[in-house]
Structure 1
Amino acid sequence: MTMTMTGASLTLVAYSPTFPSSSSSSSSFKSHKPKTSCRVSLSPSPQPLFSSSDPFVLELAETLEDSLPSSTPLLHKLRDASSQSLISTPWPSRKDEPFRFTDLSLIRSSKILPVAHPTKPLSALPTHADDDFPCRLAIVDGHFLQSLSNVPELPQGVYVGSLSGLASSSVMDRVSELVCGLDGGDLFWSINGIGAPDLTVVYVPEGCRVESPIHLVYYAVEGSGEGSKTLPVSNPRVLVVVEKGGEVGIIEEFCSTEGNGNECYWTNSALEAVIREGAKVTHSYIQTQSSSAAHIKWTSIRQESSSKYELTEVSTGGKLSRHNLHIKQLGPDTVTELTTLHLSVGDQTQDLHSSLVLDHPRGYSRQLHKCIVAHSQGQAVFDGNVKVNRYAQQTDAGQLTRSLLLEPRATVNVKPNLQIVADDVKCSHGAAISDLEESQLFYFVARGIDPATARKLLIDAFGGEVIDKFPDSIRERVRSQFKSLLDPSPN
């Protein structure tokens, strides 16, 4: 059932989900380019496959591939696998259920230009004095830059850096096993696989605990003017591998450089993580990119038995922002906790599509999704799917989405979805959509607090439940930025 609320009206619509079909082939998209005869495939019947392809997608993939420098054989393997999935994959439309409420015209109507390498001066990249992270990696327009990063001495066996800079053969072999073996996603996942200039690797060996979080800062430097039809695109990609009993904290922060807060660009990012038996990953994700940008993020997580994954997310930037979050519990006694907050203060779409699959006994999961739409043309989307399969007995899964609509005609579309095949489970889900309740405001007014101040306090508390879960060193900065967006006036 789809729950759609616009302003003060609530509509419940029964739905029958549809999913785009997928296909594969041994030929890459380059094998079907009619303009380059030397690349024509020798397979017996390529024409039917080519005729079903989307010319826009093929042209985009070719443009990305032609912009890339030479790379390691491992990245060639990734790019080949990604190109296979694009041969007959059309560009998503509003007729496709996963994109029913997500308008991709900002990207489709633009001229896509890959950022081959950062060309603008990088000396003015913002830093945050309140950060206390000894390990900080700078990823500029999808490119990991060692010169702007700070990688201190780490525990023995830990590697943090680019794939091209990886010297350990054992770690390289481990990465090679995983980088193309994880379950793929949609078209944007594959575009990232083709366009990623390198792979940023975080590797934690067995039994190792990394004390300080690893801070990945993604800077968007290249951009075109507001309203431009040119859209620079970057494709950063990260692989996190935490071996048995290991522990690490990952902070991903997507931001703009000074002066390009309203510029147009497209960040198409992907992070995949393998969390082995008894390991733990604490993942913080902050997105404050340009209000004219497109931001599409893929997070793919595989959890083995007795492992734990915690995600805390705050997304406030982008004209189009979408997070595809896919998690699989691949062993018993596995714990997954997801806490997200989306804020739309302008003509923005904030979209979270999540999928959690539980396949083994005694799995535990909690998902709290919150969103605030504070603009009449703002929109938030939540599509959360929790699937408890037959052998996931004694599962405890909970899902809750809560939305605040602060302006008339503000829109939120939510679809919490709980599929249960097992018969010995404890599962629940719920959704709440409203403006601030009059009874809450009355409580403050009755105690001498004016309504405007009361509203600010209640909204801060609504978002604070998520922000409080961030590490101490970034929590106050995120809180301050959240408040300034809701109340830009100095007082």
Structure 2
Amino acid sequence: MLAANSMSISSLNSCFPVFRRSATGPRRNAGTRVAAQPPTLAILSDPHVLRLAETLEDHLSASSPPPPPPLQKLRDISSESLLSTPWPSRKDEPFRFTDTSYIRNSEIQPVSPYSSQSLGFLGADTDAFSPSLAIVDGYYVESLSKLPELPEGVFVGLLSNIDSDSIMKKVSEYVASFEGDLFWSLNGVGAPDVIVVYVPEGCKVESALHLRFFSLNGSDRNSKTLPVSNPRVLMMVEKGGEIDIVEEYSGGDGNDKCYWTNSVMEVVVGEGAKVSHSYIQTQSLGAAHVKWTSVRQESSSVYQQIELSTGAKLNRHNVHVQQVGPDTLTELSTFHLSSGDQLQDLHSKLILNHPRGVSRQIHKCIVAHSLGQAVFDGNVQVNREAQQTDAGQLTRSLLLEPRATVNVKPNLQIIADDVKCSHGAAISDLEEDQLFYFQARGIDLETARKALIFSFAAEVVQKFPHKSIQKKAESLIRNLLDPTPTSA
């Protein structure tokens, strides 16, 4: 709920036939009338969004202790934003090619935390790096996490568990300081806590940090219920610090389970700091996975993101990077695979505001199903002060089946006049001359196609900084594109 002098999601419902709760008073019986809110706000409000937000609010108020001030601030700002944010439709440009009706038409059910004893079947992940955090349906599970002694000053854990006043003060500056869309705000209302990764000035964390997100609570395909989780991560790497993170999302038992993971990660990269970010998404093919990654880079900093997404019925990744200092490097590498009736969607925005910024973006996707879809909407904005910028953007797509669909929208907005910028887009099946090259050397057509498809993905997969992740990614892609075992 918002503060007494603010407007909550619930109080706006007084404008509609069913009233649930006032902004400052206790819950009232259905039908009780209170003073209506300003008519302009009521016109802008979406009743469906208000009901969904209220469901998330009620679930947290019933199951969670009072939040620390930064988390309460996040919830208040998110609630206020939702008062005037409608559910997106295909008429809205950012969702022109992204149909969210799967979520819109489902009965959303917030997930409650599991007991530690009931999660024993997950066991230890032998491939997990140490340190690692386990987050199950949006809730941090200490018993499944491995947090050995970290370098002095490093904090990895929940916002509500921070006992350092200096860290809490620094974190408070950036909680709720970013801006996103409807799903961003719904996460802000529904996140049970914020996972904080804090690296102090000059500290280099030698071991990769593995963030393992599990989605266990799911409904069957014929059910209208869609359990939702709202994990949220804030990462702060101060001046000269370095960290390598692996962010991985996977489903529980059954590849057809239906659920909605609505996730947010905020990254602050300080002056001269470096963050290497590996992101892997292999959710159930019946799931909805909506992800926000927002990055703020200060001068001379480096941010590298490598993404592999093969899961979810509806997968949308919003990447927003802002360079707020000169001599800054941003690298984004993405591989999406639609092996079934799936939508794989990447919406990215890079804003360069200072001189000598460098950005490199490569997006690759394969649509291997006649009902599969892919979307790339990439925007690079080079503002007037960003002189001597070097920005490159490339998207390439393979359509392997008739009626497979991809929509690409590479976009460069350049105001500065002393820049070196380029972008390109290509959509095709495998080239005939490439296949002929293999066949001319005695390699059959099927083997040639497989070799070319796997090499198409390898350009991104090989960018993962860890061999174990590369091998895992290669095996996953092979199994999805060629599920039948090869006979001996």
Query: What does residue 123 of structure 1 align with?
Result: 120
CA distance in 2, matches of 1:421, 1:43: 49
Which residue matches 1:109?
A: 105
Q: Report whether the alignment pairs 1:401 with 2:385.
A: no
Instruction: State the Cα deviation string for residues 119-142 of structure 1 (Å, max 9, x = none).
Output: 6931222654344x1111000000
The within-5 A match list for 1:5-404 is 26-34=6-14, 35-36=19-20, 38-39=22-23, 45-68=37-60, 69-70=64-65, 71-118=67-114, 121-125=118-122, 127-131=124-128, 133-181=129-177, 183-257=178-252, 259-404=253-398
Q: Is the 8 A contact 1:312 1:340 kept in 2?
A: yes
Please say if residues 124 and 144 of structure 2, whose CA atoms lie closer than 8 Å, have aligned partners that are also in contact.
no
Give the one of 411, 416, 423 matched to 1:417.
411
Contact 1:363–1:395 at 8 Å: present in 2 too? yes
Whether the 8 Å contact between 2:337 and 2:365 is mirrored in structure 1 is yes
Quote the Cα distance in structure 2 between the aligned partners of 1:401 and 1:38. Answer: 49
User: How big is each residue's C-alpha offset from its partner over 1:430-483, in whole Å with a ceiling of 9 and x where there is no partner?
Assistant: 000000001111111111111101111111100011111112232101110111
The residue type paired with residue 32 of structure 1 is L
What are structure 2's unaligned runs of at least 5 residues? 26-33
Q: Is the 8 A contact 2:12 2:37 kept in 1?
A: no
Does 2:468 correspond to 1:488? no
Quote the residue 1:14 is aligned against: none
Give, in angstroms, the shift of residue 72 of structure 1.
Answer: 1.7
d(CA) in 2 for partners of 1:404, 1:224: 32
Query: CA–CA distance in 1 between the matches of 2:23 and 2:219?
Result: 33
- For 1:29, give the aligned amino acid: I
Q: Deviations over 1:404-441 (max 9, x none)?
A: 00000000000000000000000000000000001111
Distance 1:236 1:348, change over 3 A: same
Q: 1:227·1:264 contact (CA, 8 Å) conserved in 2?
A: no
* Partners of 2:305 and 2:339 in 1: CA distance: 23
Q: 1:454 aligns with which of 448, 462, 473?
A: 448
Q: Which SS does the other structure have where 2:119 is aligned?
A: coil
How many residues are matched? 464
Which region of structure 1 is more displaced relative to structure 2, 160-169 or 39-48? 39-48
List structure 1 segments (4+ residues) > 2 angstroms apart after TM superposition. 36-48, 118-121, 126-131
Query: One-letter code of the match for 2:130?
Result: P
Counterpart-to-counterpart distance in 2, 1:135 and 1:45: 49
Kindly indicate whether the alpha-carbon contact (under 8 Å) linking 1:32 and 1:46 is maintained by their aligned counterparts in 2: no
Q: Using the TM superposition, give the Cα deviation of residue 43 of structure 1 relative to its aligned residue in structure 2, in angstroms.
A: 8.6
Give 1:237 shift.
0.1
Query: 1:227: how far off?
Result: 2.7
User: CA separation in 2, counterparts of 1:400 and 1:442?
Assistant: 26
**C-alpha distance in structure 2 between counterparts of 1:96 and 1:273, whole Å:** 27
Residues 101 and 413, structure 1, Cα contact 8 Å, conserved in 2? yes
> Do the aligned partners of 1:118 and 1:222 also contact (CA within 8 Å) in 2?
no
CA distance in 1, matches of 2:121, 2:215: 12
CA distance in 2, matches of 1:409, 1:328: 37
Give 1:118 shift. 2.6
Q: Contact 1:33 / 1:39 at 8 angstroms: preserved in 2?
A: no
SS in 1 for 2:74: helix
Q: Secondary structure at the match of 2:180?
A: coil
Provide the aligned C-alpha RMSD in A.
1.5
Distance 1:44 1:56 in 2: 18
SS of residue matched to 1:341: strand
Q: CA deviation at 1:147?
A: 1.1
| TM superposition score normalised by structure 2 | 0.93
- How far is the alpha carbon of 1:26 from its aligned partner? 4.4
Following superposition, the deviation at residue 167 of structure 1 comes to 1.5
- SS of structure 2 residue aligned to 1:67: helix
Q: Distance in 2 between matches of 1:161 and 1:461?
A: 39
Q: State the TM-score, normalized to the length of structure 1.
A: 0.92
Q: Distance in 1 between matches of 2:21 and 2:94?
A: 37
SS at match of 2:51: helix
